[in-house]
Chains A and B, each alone.
Chain A
Amino acid sequence: QKEVEQNSGPLSVPEGAIASLNCTYSDRGSQSFFWYRQYSGKSPELIMSIYSNGDKEDGRFTAQLNKASQYVSLLIRDSQPSDSATYLCAVHRAGNQFYFGTGTSLTVIP
């Protein structure tokens, strides 16, 4: 079983719609959860972090965590063409190890 699993997509949404990205993880001892955005040919950059159950909002982005279901999601409201990228879910385990999913490719259609 993979440490972190994501639907690879591709996911296409029209401009202005809500994009929903999902991630599951296998280790119940995982402590922190992150969403990174990666544009083609670039390095990943952090867009959201979440540490406790529930929702965390930052501008157009909302991260949701459900530790009982071992599930993390990212919602992007009012999607823009500039949001077109690959979104990587990352899980932070004890010992400061980070594990990444394979990423979900998002395309926002103008």
Chain B
Amino acid sequence: NAGVTQTPKFRILKIGQSMTLQCTQDMNHNYMYWYRQDPGMGLKLIYYSVGAGITDKGEVPNGYNVSRSTTEDFPLRLELAAPSQTSVYFCASSQEGLAGSGELFFGEGSRLTVL
């Protein structure tokens, strides 16, 4: 029962470096999301995808890129890391809005620090 798997769980980056956060789900969900959560704050939507080959921006997309080549995988790319991107990143998935309960299934999170 893997659900949503994120890697890595922890990472320290230097300013200007790039990296990719990996996310994969085994529930055959069409909808996938990337959120960031800053200390004491709620979740902010970065990007989301409604199916393979389709992605769209959320509330805070600047500095990030995504791709969705398969139903299972939804990687998040950070280009030119900045201290403002220090956060905990959560990947989530859900069933189709009309057919499903609307419940989001979350990964365990990836804690990123940019120094």
Residues of chain A at the chain B interface (Cβ within 8 Å): 4, 6, 8, 31-32, 34, 36, 42-46, 49, 88, 90, 92, 94-103
Contacts and interface: CB of A to CB of B under 8 A. Distances in A.
B102 A43 contact: no
Interface of B: 31, 33, 35, 40-45, 48, 50, 58-59, 90, 92, 94, 96-97, 101-104, 106-109
A104 B62 CA distance: 27
Given A46-B103, A49-B101, A90-B104, A97 B41 contact: no
Contacts of A101: 42
A21 to B, nearest CB: 13
Contact of B43 (A42, A44, A96): A44
Given A96-B31, A96-B96, A46 B42 contact: no
B43 A100 contact: yes
B90 A96 contact: no
Contacts of B97: 31, 92, 94-96
Given A44-B43, A92-B97, A97 B58 contact: yes
Given A43-B108, A43-B109, A97 B103 contact: no
A81 to B, nearest CB: 21
